[in-house]
């Protein structure tokens, strides 16, 4: 440690005050949990842009996660504390001095913009931080409390995308404070999964996010559209808000702000069979945070010109089968496909998603669901960004399976990225991880940390990962790791052929 260098200990000064974290663990990592990055969005601050946190005197103990945002998921079984007062973040760092300028990785949790939190054991940042980065995660407003749009709100706030504005506020906090934790505010990678990845895609297309992060990782999401067509428009989002207020007795915004948060949240439940793009309080094209359809922004080269690493999993459809086309029989599936894609395209469709038998139709319906909800938009993200930037782009397809992860479902890659190897309960598996799983986690953590450090996932000792280009080659992250031509390219190209100016048909809303 050189003269004048400040030693980094459990007590760190942020712009709002001193915080005290946990003791260093066996990996040398200090965790700081539950740090406010904005004022509580309650009372008159409900449905307003996040405000700076109120400074505090003395030392604030940052030893426990802050409360999660209220969950819109119907009958959410998660036991964690929830509150409208939820705008806190967490930092993991192994830095020994404040001037180390370690790469920073900022995680956005998933959950369809309806549920989830930064306290998920699978996304504990300790092991990533031990690899030389500073890890940050945070909570943000969800559901109706995070994304209500209404004409009355436009008088004081230009956006219903308060959850996205929370994410921007967290990034601004990182820029202002992360150096005190040994991080480099000029080398920030934003990464997330599902809705978290969708938020990364949205923020890459947002002028408000420029210079707040410098690299992007998107795991299973881009949020340009979904199974039921494109992102909600300004008009659709406000119509949803007006209809919600009407159901609460023609309530004004003032009256809605006076209602208990739990009552409001309970009045707008969400279920997995609902499309979080088109059938929920979720991000919209507000012409402020999201100025236009994100795909159009990428087509025109108006997105952030930064390195991107993105991909999708082998069985993305697993949690989303309630949204699939009818497949109780081959005939039902073929009829639904003809209605969705047009009778004139049915032959092309069935060549890719065959339905000669009922069993074949069910398998094709599952593949189609994963492609429409997640896969194809990730592929578009890679293609459009590669075509409009000189920054490096890397694509992957996660297909790894083992007794610990018998299905490469949506979300199953997360414990590998963080090295936590927590139980894979989404697919109903509690088999403990084995040596092969730990080796896979080590490889994926190394790829992610390398990318966050330099914009390139490659390093000595790892299977080489080529940049994504017109050959459509992605890194297959499976029991064997190798670069191969995208195995779903033909299916994605078929779905992509329905886009006009980057946008899927509005008629799919039905």
Residues marked active site are found at 194, 316, 410
| Entry field: residues in the chain | 510
Helical packing angle, 489-496 and 376-387, nearest 10° = 80
The SS3 of residue 398 is strand
The SS3 of residue 88 is strand
Which of 211, 173, 147, 424 lies closest to 313, judged by CA?
424
The SS3 of residue 44 is helix
Which helix (H) or strand (E) element contains residue 490? helix 489-496
Q: How far from the centroid of its chain's Cα atoms is residue 300's Cα? A: 23
Which of 171, 131, 166 lies closest to 38, judged by CA?
166
Distance, in Å, from the CA atom of 58 to the CA atom of 345, rounded to the nearest integer, reads 67
Report residue 485 as tokens.
């031509």
Longest dimension (CA), the chain: 76
- Return left, alpha or beta for 35; rule: phi > 0 is left, psi -120 to 50 is alpha, else beta: beta
Residue 270: strand pairing partners: 73
Alpha carbons within 13 A on the beta-carbon side of 158 = 8
């Amino acid at each position: 440690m050189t003269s004048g260098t400040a030693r980094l200990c459990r007590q760190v000064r942020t712009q709002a005050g001193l915080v005290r974290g946990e003791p260093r663990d066996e990996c040398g990592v200090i965790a700081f949990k539950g740090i406010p990055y904005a004022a509580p969005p309650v009372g008159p601050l409900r449905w307003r842009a996040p405000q700076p946190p109120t400074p505090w005197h003395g030392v604030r103990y940052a030893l426990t996660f802050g409360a999660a945002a209220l969950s819109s998921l119907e009958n959410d079984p998660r036991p964690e504390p929830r509150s409208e007062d939820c705008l806190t973040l967490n930092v993991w760092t192994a830095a020994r001095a404040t001037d180390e300028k370690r790469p920073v990785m900022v995680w956005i949790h998933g959950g369809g913009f309806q549920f989830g939190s930064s306290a998920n054991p699978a996304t504990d940042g300790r092991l990533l931080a031990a690899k030389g980065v500073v890890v940050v995660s945070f909570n943000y407003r969800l559901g109706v409390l995070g994304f209500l749009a209404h004409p009355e709100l436009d008088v004081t706030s230009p956006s219903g995308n308060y959850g996205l504005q929370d994410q921007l506020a967290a990034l601004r906090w990182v820029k202002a404070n992360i150096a005190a934790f040994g991080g480099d505010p000029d080398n920030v990678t934003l990464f997330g999964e599902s809705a978290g990845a969708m938020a990364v895609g949205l923020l890459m297309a947002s002028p408000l996010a420029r210079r707040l992060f410098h690299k992007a990782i998107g795991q299973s999401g881009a949020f340009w559209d979904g199974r039921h067509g494109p992102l909600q428009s300004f008009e659709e989002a406000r119509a949803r808000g007006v209809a919600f207020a009407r159901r609460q007795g023609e309530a004004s915004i003032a009256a809605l702000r006076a209602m208990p948060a739990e009552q409001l949240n309970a009045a707008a439940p969400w279920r997995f069979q609902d499309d979080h793009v088109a059938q929920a309080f979720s991000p919209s094209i507000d012409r402020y945070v999201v100025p236009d359809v994100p795909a159009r922004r990428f087509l025109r080269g108006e997105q952030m010109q930064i390195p991107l690493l993105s991909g999708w999993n082998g069985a993305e459809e697993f949690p989303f089968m309630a949204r699939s086309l009818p497949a109780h029989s081959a005939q039902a599936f073929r009829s639904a496909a003809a209605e969705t894609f047009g009778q004139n395209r049915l032959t092309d469709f069935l060549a890719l998603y065959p339905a000669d038998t009922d069993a074949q139709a069910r398998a094709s319906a599952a593949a189609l669901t994963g492609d429409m909800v997640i896969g194809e938009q990730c592929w578009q993200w890679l293609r459009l960004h590669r075509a409009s930037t000189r920054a490096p782009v890397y694509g992957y397809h996660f297909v790894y399976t083992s007794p610990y992860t018998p299905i490469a479902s949506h979300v199953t890659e997360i414990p590998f990225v963080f090295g936590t190897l927590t139980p894979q309960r989404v697919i109903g598996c509690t088999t403990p991880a084995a040596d092969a799983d730990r080796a896979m986690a080590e490889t994926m953590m190394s790829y992610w940390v390398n990318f966050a450090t330099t914009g390139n996932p490659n390093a000595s000792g790892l299977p080489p990962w080529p940049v994504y280009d017109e050959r459509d080659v992605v890194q297959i992250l499976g029991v064997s790791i190798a670069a191969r031509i995208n195995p779903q390219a033909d299916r994605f190209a078929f779905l992509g052929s329905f886009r006009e100016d980057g946008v899927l048909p509005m008629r799919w809303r039905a």
